[in-house]
């Protein structure tokens, strides 16, 4: 699974495994993650750690450990649209050099499934993003080895959810090169 998406996906997967009632009509189903909005760094938030092996096609090319504390709220609507508010602190460490960076993810994300099965993601806020080789990224097509960025601003992304592939990407905001920061 993609590094930048993994932190949110793991937290969502923990909640998705729980038996919960479905949405009725146009009313959204509200799914508060432990910690809730604005409490992502408090004692009640979800905490986990994950190690990403070095990859030649995804990320920065070196092994990383992410220690994550996350909270937020997800809403799923009867038409399949998803809205989430996420607050997370992610301490990312390059396992080869020991260099660490504390990234704070605070964002609002809307996911809409389009008629062709792709998803439109609109993300407003700060988030850790990774891109595979050949995908569109903040500076055009991502080169050999893939890349990671710390992004703050408005991102518009089209994703193929079956292949976990980014099909188009645009950003208006600040983009920091995570690979340089963590080197």
Q: What are the backbone dihedrals phi and psi of residue 61, each rounded to the nearest 5 degrees, phi first?
A: 90, 0
pLDDT of residue 73: 85
Q: What pLDDT, in 10s, does the model give residues 4-54?
A: 554 444 444 433 433 344 444 456 666 555 554 444 445 557 889 999 999
Q: What pLDDT, in 10s, does the model give residues 117-153?
A: 999 999 999 999 999 999 999 999 999 989 999 999 9
Every domain of the chain and the residues it spans: 3-182
Contacts from 140-146 at CB under 8 Å and sequence distance 24+? 144/56, 145/55, 145/56, 145/57, 145/59, 145/60, 145/61, 146/55, 146/57, 146/58, 146/59, 146/60, 146/61
Residues 58 and 148: their CA atoms lie apart, in Å, by 8
Q: Choose between 33 and 178: higher pLDDT.
A: 178
Residues 129 and 125: their CA atoms lie apart, in Å, by 12
pLDDT of residue 15: 37
Q: Which two tokens stand for residue 46?
A: 């979800």
Q: What pLDDT, in 10s, does the model give residues 61-93?
A: 999 999 999 888 888 888 888 999 999 999 999
């Amino acid at each position: 699974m993609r590094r930048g998406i993994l932190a949110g996906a793991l937290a969502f997967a923990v909640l998705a495994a729980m038996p919960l009632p479905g949405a009725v009509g146009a009313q959204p189903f509200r799914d508060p993650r432990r910690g809730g909005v604005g409490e992502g760094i408090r004692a009640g938030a979800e905490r986990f750690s994950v190690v990403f092996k070095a990859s030649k096609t995804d990320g920065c090319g070196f092994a990383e450990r992410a220690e994550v504390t996350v909270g937020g709220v997800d809403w799923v609507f009867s038409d399949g649209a998803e809205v989430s508010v996420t607050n997370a602190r992610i301490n990312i460490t390059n396992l080869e050099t020991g260099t660490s960076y504390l990234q704070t993810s605070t964002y609002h994300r809307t996911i809409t499934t389009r008629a062709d099965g792709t998803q439109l993601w609109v993300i407003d806020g700060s988030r850790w993003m990774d891109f595979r080789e050949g995908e569109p990224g903040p500076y055009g097509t991502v080169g050999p080895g893939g890349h990671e960025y710390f992004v703050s601003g408005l991102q518009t992304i089209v994703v193929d959810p079956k292949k976990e592939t980014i099909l188009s990407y645009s950003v208006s905001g600040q983009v920091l090169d995570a690979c340089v920061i963590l080197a």
